[in-house]
Copies of this chain bind each other. A is one copy, B any other.
Amino acid sequence: MLTLYYAPGTCALAAHLALAHSGADYTLVRLDFSRDEQRSPAYLQVNPKGRVPALATDRGVLTETPALLHYIAQSFPQARLAPLDDAFAMAQVHEFNSYLCATVHVAHAHGRRGYRWVDADDAHSLAAMKKKLPQAVGDAFALIEEQLLRGPWVLGEQLTVCDYYLFTISKWLEGDAVDVSRLPRVLEHRARMLAEPLVQRVLEAERGPAT
């Protein structure tokens, strides 16, 4: 049995979607970020990083979205969520996921979590990061638009974990005030993902009442 620790609106959605796709048996534990539950002593026992997602397995807890996506894809090969036997294609999966986590998600995080990189009471610097957000996130997405998203899916003809991750992060574009008119292919991908019954079902589950 797998347990996914998540909060609505976070990047934990990517692993949630991959789990739903995989056919895995899993349960959800929802954290309330408004009550700072991700930094509660109980949750820090699960994940000392104080973030989501975390995936509890019978061998221990895993964190970091690219790692969870790898675990789900390799544990449930019949779901064909990644080209497991092809070293080059698997590296492309990780290339895309690393770009999302280390460049795109990081750019986004400067909007509300700038205190990670400057003093929390430095209002000028925090505002400066927020001001740059549309450009920093927009430029990061422009590379996806123009180079990385091959179509119809991220890596071409086969849907992979990369599509669930891209969908998750692309939901933040308007909140970051990015000019989405420069990203028609990303928006088309997002709309197509959103129309999937599996995606609808997972979003509905995330909207459910906090436990």
The chain A residues found within 8 Å of chain B, CB to CB, are 48-49, 57, 59-60, 62-68, 70-71, 74-75, 87-88, 90-95, 98-99, 101-102, 105-107, 110, 116-119, 122, 124-125, 128-129, 131-132, 136, 143, 147
Contact = CB atoms under 8 A, between A and B. Distances in A.
Contacts of A70: 87, 90-91, 94
B98 A66 contact: yes
A92 to B, nearest CB: 7
B64 A95 contact: yes
Given A48-B147, A64-B99, A147-B48, A119 B91 contact: no
A87 B75 contact: yes
B102 A131 contact: no
B102 A87 contact: no
A92 B62 CA distance: 7
A198 B106 CA distance: 34
